[in-house]
A = this chain, B = another copy of it.
Amino acid sequence: MNTQDHISQEYNEELEALRSKALTMGGLVEENFTGATKSLLKGKTQLAQHIAKEDYKVNALEVSLDEDCSSLIARRQPAAIDLRNIFAVLKIVTDLERIGDESEKIARFAAELDNDATSMKFYSSLKSLIISAREILSSALDCYARLDADKAMEVVQLDSGVDSEFMNLNRTLTTYLLEDIKNIEDTIKVMWCARSIERVGDHAKNICEYVVYVVHGNDIRHITDEEAE
Protein backbone atom coordinates (compact mmCIF):
# COMPACT_ATOMS: atom_id res chain seq x y z
CA MET A 1 0.00 0.00 0.00
CA ASN A 2 1.49 3.37 -0.94
CA THR A 3 1.37 6.48 1.23
CA GLN A 4 -1.55 7.96 -0.71
CA ASP A 5 -3.66 4.81 -0.27
CA HIS A 6 -2.76 4.73 3.38
CA ILE A 7 -3.87 8.33 3.93
CA SER A 8 -7.05 7.69 1.99
CA GLN A 9 -7.87 4.62 4.07
CA GLU A 10 -7.24 6.52 7.30
CA TYR A 11 -9.48 9.30 6.05
CA ASN A 12 -12.31 6.88 5.24
CA GLU A 13 -11.95 5.33 8.65
CA GLU A 14 -12.19 8.77 10.26
CA LEU A 15 -15.35 9.57 8.30
CA GLU A 16 -16.86 6.22 9.26
CA ALA A 17 -15.90 6.75 12.92
CA LEU A 18 -17.65 10.15 12.82
CA ARG A 19 -20.87 8.67 11.46
CA SER A 20 -20.66 5.82 13.92
CA LYS A 21 -20.29 8.29 16.83
CA ALA A 22 -23.32 10.23 15.54
CA LEU A 23 -25.23 6.95 15.51
CA THR A 24 -24.13 6.26 19.09
CA MET A 25 -25.55 9.65 20.02
CA GLY A 26 -28.72 8.71 18.12
CA GLY A 27 -28.97 5.45 20.08
CA LEU A 28 -28.61 7.27 23.40
CA VAL A 29 -31.20 9.88 22.43
CA GLU A 30 -33.63 7.17 21.33
CA GLU A 31 -33.12 5.33 24.61
CA ASN A 32 -33.82 8.51 26.60
CA PHE A 33 -36.93 9.32 24.56
CA THR A 34 -38.25 5.78 25.01
CA GLY A 35 -37.51 5.91 28.74
CA ALA A 36 -39.09 9.35 29.17
CA THR A 37 -42.29 8.41 27.34
CA LYS A 38 -42.44 5.06 29.16
CA SER A 39 -42.22 6.85 32.49
CA LEU A 40 -44.96 9.23 31.34
CA LEU A 41 -47.25 6.40 30.27
CA LYS A 42 -46.62 4.10 33.20
CA GLY A 43 -46.00 6.62 35.96
CA LYS A 44 -42.49 5.34 36.60
CA THR A 45 -41.14 8.21 38.70
CA GLN A 46 -37.71 6.69 39.35
CA LEU A 47 -37.10 6.07 35.66
CA ALA A 48 -38.24 9.63 34.91
CA GLN A 49 -35.81 11.07 37.46
CA HIS A 50 -33.01 8.96 36.00
CA ILE A 51 -33.72 10.10 32.41
CA ALA A 52 -33.94 13.76 33.47
CA LYS A 53 -30.34 13.44 34.69
CA GLU A 54 -29.00 11.66 31.62
CA ASP A 55 -29.15 14.56 29.17
CA TYR A 56 -25.63 15.78 29.97
CA LYS A 57 -24.27 12.74 28.11
CA VAL A 58 -26.18 13.77 24.99
CA ASN A 59 -24.90 17.35 25.32
CA ALA A 60 -21.30 16.17 25.71
CA LEU A 61 -21.60 14.08 22.54
CA GLU A 62 -22.95 17.10 20.64
CA VAL A 63 -19.96 19.25 21.59
CA SER A 64 -17.50 16.44 20.89
CA LEU A 65 -19.02 15.62 17.47
CA ASP A 66 -18.94 19.28 16.41
CA GLU A 67 -15.25 19.33 17.34
CA ASP A 68 -14.63 16.17 15.31
CA CYS A 69 -16.32 17.76 12.27
CA SER A 70 -14.28 20.91 12.61
CA SER A 71 -11.03 18.98 12.95
CA LEU A 72 -11.84 16.73 9.96
CA ILE A 73 -12.60 19.71 7.72
CA ALA A 74 -9.42 21.54 8.77
CA ARG A 75 -7.16 18.51 8.32
CA ARG A 76 -8.73 16.71 5.36
CA GLN A 77 -10.27 19.48 3.24
CA PRO A 78 -13.17 17.29 2.18
CA ALA A 79 -15.26 17.82 -0.95
CA ALA A 80 -18.41 16.36 -2.53
CA ILE A 81 -19.96 13.42 -0.67
CA ASP A 82 -17.39 13.50 2.16
CA LEU A 83 -18.23 17.12 2.88
CA ARG A 84 -21.95 16.35 2.71
CA ASN A 85 -21.41 13.55 5.22
CA ILE A 86 -19.74 15.96 7.63
CA PHE A 87 -22.39 18.62 7.06
CA ALA A 88 -25.09 16.08 7.79
CA VAL A 89 -23.41 15.17 11.08
CA LEU A 90 -23.23 18.87 12.04
CA LYS A 91 -26.94 19.29 11.40
CA ILE A 92 -28.11 15.92 12.73
CA VAL A 93 -26.37 16.38 16.09
CA THR A 94 -28.35 19.61 16.57
CA ASP A 95 -31.61 17.72 16.04
CA LEU A 96 -30.46 14.89 18.29
CA GLU A 97 -29.55 17.33 21.03
CA ARG A 98 -33.00 18.93 20.81
CA ILE A 99 -34.64 15.48 21.02
CA GLY A 100 -32.52 14.97 24.13
CA ASP A 101 -33.88 18.26 25.54
CA GLU A 102 -37.46 17.28 24.78
CA SER A 103 -36.95 13.88 26.44
CA GLU A 104 -35.56 15.61 29.51
CA LYS A 105 -38.62 17.89 29.64
CA ILE A 106 -41.00 14.93 29.28
CA ALA A 107 -39.16 13.07 32.04
CA ARG A 108 -39.33 16.08 34.38
CA PHE A 109 -43.08 16.48 33.85
CA ALA A 110 -43.60 12.71 34.19
CA ALA A 111 -41.82 12.77 37.55
CA GLU A 112 -44.09 15.62 38.73
CA LEU A 113 -47.45 14.14 37.69
CA ASP A 114 -49.74 13.59 40.68
CA ASN A 115 -51.92 11.06 38.91
CA ASP A 116 -50.92 8.02 36.97
CA ALA A 117 -51.46 8.68 33.25
CA THR A 118 -52.99 5.20 32.89
CA SER A 119 -55.96 6.46 34.91
CA MET A 120 -56.55 9.36 32.50
CA LYS A 121 -59.25 9.34 29.87
CA PHE A 122 -56.92 10.33 27.06
CA TYR A 123 -54.43 7.56 27.85
CA SER A 124 -54.99 5.66 24.60
CA SER A 125 -54.53 8.80 22.41
CA LEU A 126 -51.36 9.70 24.30
CA LYS A 127 -50.03 6.17 23.90
CA SER A 128 -50.78 6.20 20.20
CA LEU A 129 -48.96 9.54 19.72
CA ILE A 130 -45.96 8.15 21.61
CA ILE A 131 -45.86 4.98 19.51
CA SER A 132 -45.97 7.03 16.28
CA ALA A 133 -43.18 9.33 17.46
CA ARG A 134 -41.00 6.43 18.60
CA GLU A 135 -41.53 4.77 15.22
CA ILE A 136 -40.55 7.85 13.19
CA LEU A 137 -37.45 8.44 15.34
CA SER A 138 -36.37 4.82 15.12
CA SER A 139 -36.95 4.74 11.34
CA ALA A 140 -35.06 8.02 10.85
CA LEU A 141 -32.02 6.67 12.71
CA ASP A 142 -32.26 3.45 10.74
CA CYS A 143 -32.29 5.42 7.46
CA TYR A 144 -29.20 7.30 8.62
CA ALA A 145 -27.42 4.09 9.62
CA ARG A 146 -28.09 2.55 6.20
CA LEU A 147 -27.97 5.85 4.28
CA ASP A 148 -31.26 4.78 2.73
CA ALA A 149 -32.61 7.87 0.94
CA ASP A 150 -35.68 6.14 -0.52
CA LYS A 151 -36.84 4.99 2.89
CA ALA A 152 -35.98 8.45 4.30
CA MET A 153 -38.36 10.05 1.78
CA GLU A 154 -41.12 7.73 3.03
CA VAL A 155 -40.37 8.47 6.69
CA VAL A 156 -40.55 12.24 6.04
CA GLN A 157 -44.20 11.71 5.10
CA LEU A 158 -44.96 10.08 8.47
CA ASP A 159 -44.44 13.35 10.34
CA SER A 160 -47.78 14.81 9.22
CA GLY A 161 -49.43 11.79 10.91
CA VAL A 162 -47.67 12.63 14.18
CA ASP A 163 -48.76 16.28 13.80
CA SER A 164 -52.42 15.39 13.33
CA GLU A 165 -52.35 12.90 16.23
CA PHE A 166 -50.94 15.72 18.35
CA MET A 167 -53.66 18.15 17.26
CA ASN A 168 -56.38 15.59 18.01
CA LEU A 169 -54.90 14.85 21.43
CA ASN A 170 -54.68 18.57 22.10
CA ARG A 171 -58.39 19.01 21.36
CA THR A 172 -59.19 16.04 23.63
CA LEU A 173 -57.08 17.52 26.43
CA THR A 174 -58.86 20.89 26.09
CA THR A 175 -62.25 19.17 26.40
CA TYR A 176 -60.93 17.20 29.36
CA LEU A 177 -59.89 20.44 31.06
CA LEU A 178 -63.47 21.70 30.78
CA GLU A 179 -64.86 18.47 32.24
CA ASP A 180 -62.40 17.86 35.02
CA ILE A 181 -61.09 21.13 36.34
CA LYS A 182 -59.58 19.59 39.46
CA ASN A 183 -56.91 17.78 37.42
CA ILE A 184 -55.99 20.94 35.54
CA GLU A 185 -52.30 21.01 36.49
CA ASP A 186 -51.72 17.40 35.49
CA THR A 187 -53.60 17.88 32.22
CA ILE A 188 -51.46 20.90 31.34
CA LYS A 189 -48.31 18.91 32.11
CA VAL A 190 -49.52 16.20 29.73
CA MET A 191 -50.13 18.94 27.13
CA TRP A 192 -46.53 20.11 27.39
CA CYS A 193 -45.36 16.51 27.08
CA ALA A 194 -47.53 16.00 23.99
CA ARG A 195 -45.97 19.12 22.44
CA SER A 196 -42.48 17.75 23.15
CA ILE A 197 -43.41 14.41 21.60
CA GLU A 198 -44.69 16.17 18.49
CA ARG A 199 -41.40 18.13 18.27
CA VAL A 200 -39.48 14.83 18.32
CA GLY A 201 -41.38 13.91 15.14
CA ASP A 202 -40.21 17.17 13.53
CA HIS A 203 -36.59 16.50 14.44
CA ALA A 204 -36.81 12.92 13.13
CA LYS A 205 -38.16 14.35 9.87
CA ASN A 206 -35.16 16.72 9.70
CA ILE A 207 -32.78 13.76 10.13
CA CYS A 208 -34.43 12.03 7.15
CA GLU A 209 -34.02 15.17 5.05
CA TYR A 210 -30.28 15.18 5.80
CA VAL A 211 -30.05 11.52 4.74
CA VAL A 212 -31.47 12.49 1.33
CA TYR A 213 -28.97 15.37 1.20
CA VAL A 214 -26.00 13.05 1.92
CA VAL A 215 -27.04 10.47 -0.67
CA HIS A 216 -28.37 12.67 -3.50
CA GLY A 217 -26.85 16.06 -2.71
CA ASN A 218 -30.17 17.88 -2.90
CA ASP A 219 -31.75 19.83 -0.09
CA ILE A 220 -35.40 18.85 0.31
CA ARG A 221 -36.05 20.87 3.48
CA HIS A 222 -39.16 23.04 3.49
CA ILE A 223 -40.34 21.61 0.17
CA THR A 224 -42.83 19.29 1.89
CA ASP A 225 -43.85 21.80 4.59
CA GLU A 226 -46.98 23.00 2.83
CA GLU A 227 -48.34 19.48 2.37
CA ALA A 228 -47.60 18.61 5.97
CA GLU A 229 -49.66 21.46 7.42
CA distance A83 to B83 in the complex (A): 13
Taking CB atoms, residues of chain B closer than 8 Å to A66 are 87, 219
Interface string of A42-77 (1 = CB under 8 A from B): 000000000000001001101100110110011001
A195 CB within 8 Å of chain B: yes
Interface string of A173-203 (1 = CB under 8 A from B): 0100110010011001001100100000000
Cross-interface CB contact of A83 among B62, B70, B79, B174, cutoff 8 Å: B70
Query: Are A221 and B63 neighbours in the complex by a CB distance under 8 Å?
Result: yes
CA distance A90 to B222 in the complex (A): 17
A216 CB within 8 Å of chain B: no
Query: Are B62 and A221 neighbours in the complex by a CB distance under 8 Å?
Result: yes
> Which residues of A (211-229) have their CB < 8 Å from a CB of B?
219, 221-222, 225
Taking CB atoms, residues of chain B closer than 8 Å to A174 are 184-185, 188
Cross-interface CB contact of A63 among B56, B195, B222, cutoff 8 Å: B222
A91 CB within 8 Å of chain B: yes
Distance in angstroms from A113 CB to nearest chain B CB is 15
Q: How large is the interface on A (under 10, 10 to 19, 20 to 34, 35 or more residues)?
A: 35 or more
Distance in angstroms from A91 CB to nearest chain B CB is 7
Cross-interface CB contact of A59 among B70, B94, B221, cutoff 8 Å: B221
Query: Are B87 and A222 neighbours in the complex by a CB distance under 8 Å?
Result: no
Query: Are A70 and B87 neighbours in the complex by a CB distance under 8 Å?
Result: yes
Interface centre among A70, A83, A174, A221 (most CB of B within 10 A): A70
CA distance A154 to B94 in the complex (A): 24
Residue on B with the closest CB to A188? B174
Taking CB atoms, residues of chain B closer than 8 Å to A219 are 63, 66-67
Taking CB atoms, residues of chain B closer than 8 Å to A70 are 83-84, 87
CA distance A94 to B188 in the complex (A): 29
A-B contacts, 21 listed (Cβ < 8 Å): A59-B221, A60-B222, A62-B221, A62-B222, A63-B219, A66-B87, A66-B219, A69-B87, A70-B84, A70-B87, A73-B73, A74-B80, A74-B83, A77-B77, A87-B90, A90-B90, A90-B91, A177-B181, A188-B191, A191-B191, A195-B195
